[in-house]
Amino acid sequence: MTEDAKRAYWRRNLRLMVALLSIWFVVSYLFGILLVETFNRIVINDFPLGFWFAQQGSIVAFVILIGIYAWRMDKLDEEFGVAEARHQRGGGR
């Protein structure tokens, strides 16, 4: 792997990470805590929305975020040729 490729791979990794962590912050800290009272004025299916984000929505979002990360990183590894060899039988879904 060349120095340029290494730097490019790492930068792509960091960019994905920052994007996902921003969503992580928004659904939990912002919607669920800092803006909870504002969101609570909206009620859907008997759930005040701020409360729903704090006790349901954020958790679902976390699962999806990790799923996206694992999926995108698989692609990135392949693109840069750093994916592990097949014989290691690396996981799968």
Partner 1 sequence: MSTQFWTWIFVILTFGTYITIAWRSRVKDTKGFYVAGQGVPTVANGAAVAADWMSAASFLSMAGIIAFAGYDGSVYLMGWTGGYVLLALLLAPYLRKFGKYTVPDFVGDRYSDTARLVAVVAAIFVSFTYVVGQMRGVGVVFSRFLDTTVTVGIMVGMGIVLFYAVLGGMKGITWTQVAQYSVLIVAYLIPAFAIAGQLTGIPIPHVSFGRVMTELNAIQRELGFDEYSSPFVRNSQLNVFLITASLMIGTAGLPHVIVRFYTTRSVRAARWSAFWALFFIALLYTTAPAVGVFAKYNLLQTVAEQPRADMPAWFDGWEETGLLEHTDLNDDGIIQYTPDEATNELRIDNDIMVLATPEVAGLPGPVIGLVVAGGLAAALSTASGLLLVISSSVAHDFYYRRMRPDATEKQRLLVGRLTMAGAVVIAGYFGVNPPGFVAEVVALAFGLAAASFFPTIVLGIFWKRANAPGAVAGMATGLTLTAAYMVGVLYLGVEPIFGISPQGIGAIGALINFAVTIAVTRATPPPPEHLQQLVDSVRYPSGVDAVTPEEIGR
* Chain contacts with partner 1 (rule: CB under 8 A): 1, 6, 9-10, 13, 17, 20-21, 24, 28-29, 32-34, 36-37, 40, 45-48, 50-52, 54-56, 58-60, 62-63, 65-67, 69-70, 73-74, 77, 81-85, 88-93
| Shortest spacing between CB 62 and partner 1, in angstroms | 5
CB 48 within 8 Å of CB 70: no
Cα separation of 35 and 51, whole Å? 10
CB 54 within 8 Å of CB 33: yes
The 8-class DSSP code of residue 91 comes to: -
| Shortest spacing between CB 92 and partner 1, in angstroms | 7
